[in-house]
Structures are given as structure tokens and as C-alpha cells.
Amino acid sequence: MKLKIINSTSHWVMPRIVMVILVILLIIIAVQRMISCKKTGTPFINLKNYRFFMPGWDKVKLLGSILTFIVYIYLMEFLTFLPASIISIFLLNVLFDNERTKKSMITSGVISVGFSIFIWLVFGVLFRITLP
């Protein structure tokens, strides 16, 4: 199978592939839920005693993640992809780390630098996709 690439619309190829995959996964999840509900005799959608957040949810981690993501988007404009990604991944690692020791901070730094450079090389060199 060969894809015909038209430069004016080639940027729509990947989003369509991702959408199809997400729809397939949604259908699989819905079928699994229907089978599970049939076996247990529970309704497919049960809003009685429904809670969006479980009791004792971690507000700092949720709100910190959202704030870090928003700051990441703004940092991309000024610092470009690589430095903004290193900073954001490091902050997320520290946010979700329970220990916060010197060793875990060094590990978070190594992971954020290594992963960001890896993604930058894969997209920039291998796939030749320009990153911001």
C-alpha cells in the first residue's frame, strides 16, 4: 500500500490515523464495559453515588500538572522545544516523586534531559519534522 502525499494536505495524514486508532480503542473499551455490565448485572452508566474524584485525591498533583502543561505551552514560544521540554519534564518528575532526595532529583534531571533529546532527535532527524 502506497500513500499518495499531497503537500498542501499532507499534514492531515497523521491526525486521521490517530483519530481512527482512538475510535477503535473507544469501541473496544465500550464493548468490554458492556460485557462486564452484563455479567455483573450493573447498568452501563451508573450515576448513583457517582464521584468524579475519589476521596482523598491529590489536589497538588492535579493542579500542578495542569499548571505545568500551561506553562510548557508558553515556554515553547520563548525557549523552543528542547529547553521547554527539559524544564517541564523535570518539574513533572519532581511533582510526582514522593521522595525528593538528591538521588531522585539527579535521576529526574537525567530522565528529562535524555528523554527530551531522544524525542528531539527522533522527530527532527529521523522523521524530519521541525519542532518549535
Q: Mean pLDDT, 10 residues at a time, over the chain (132 residues)?
A: 64 82 97 94 83 88 96 92 95 92 94 95 84 77
Q: List phi, psi (to 5°) of 24.
A: -60, -45
* 68 touches 88 (CB < 8 A): yes
- Shortest CA distance to 85 belongs to which of 130, 115, 125, 62? 115
Q: List phi, psi (to 5°) of 65.
A: -65, -45
Distance from the first to the final alpha carbon of the chain: 32
Query: What confidence score (pLDDT) does residue 125 get?
Result: 82
* 81 touches 54 (CB < 8 A): no
Query: What confidence score (pLDDT) does residue 117 get?
Result: 94
Query: What confidence score (pLDDT) does residue 106 get?
Result: 95
